[in-house]
Amino acid sequence: MPLTKEVVLGKHVWERHSCINCHTLHGEGAYFAPELGNVMTRWGVTDDPEAAYEVLTGWMEAQPSGIEGRRQMPQFNLTPEEIRGLAEFLRWADQTDTQGWPPTNAG
């Protein structure tokens, strides 16, 4: 997958909001929240940019979930452009040759 302007924007969103402080990306980062290096595969949208954007939008809009006893993701109030960029960054990361990492589909 090419390194597009949307992928770069998504990487900037990732960095600006310090996503790595809670999530891992290909094993790098914190283990508070799920691995995101293969999240688009888990969601079944790796090859569908529009579906990736829609699923990520739904997820982001539902945060925090308010489910008692569950770790909560903050509401970042991202713009549609930022969410699309983040979706493209995560699709790009998901298609990186990681030589078998993560070892399970769950991350």
Architecture of domain 5-65+74-94: Orthogonal Bundle (1.10)
- Pick left, alpha or beta for residue 29 (phi over 0 → left; psi -120 to 50 → alpha; otherwise beta): left
The closest alpha carbon to 36, from 55, 5, 67, 50, belongs to 55
Tokens representing residue 41 in the block: 């595969």
Q: How far is CA 84 from CA 27, 36, 47, 79, 106, in A?
A: 23, 15, 14, 9, 23
pLDDT of residue 62: 95
Q: What is the pLDDT along the chain (107 residues), one digit of tens a residue?
A: 889 999 999 999 999 999 999 999 998 999 999 999 999 999 999 999 999 999 999 999 999 999 999 999 999 999 999 999 999 999 999 999 888 777 777 76
pLDDT of residue 103: 77
Question: Does pTM top 0.85 for this prediction?
Answer: yes
Task: Return the domain boundaries, the chain.
Answer: 5-65+74-94
Strand stretches in the chain, DSSP E:
24-25, 28-29
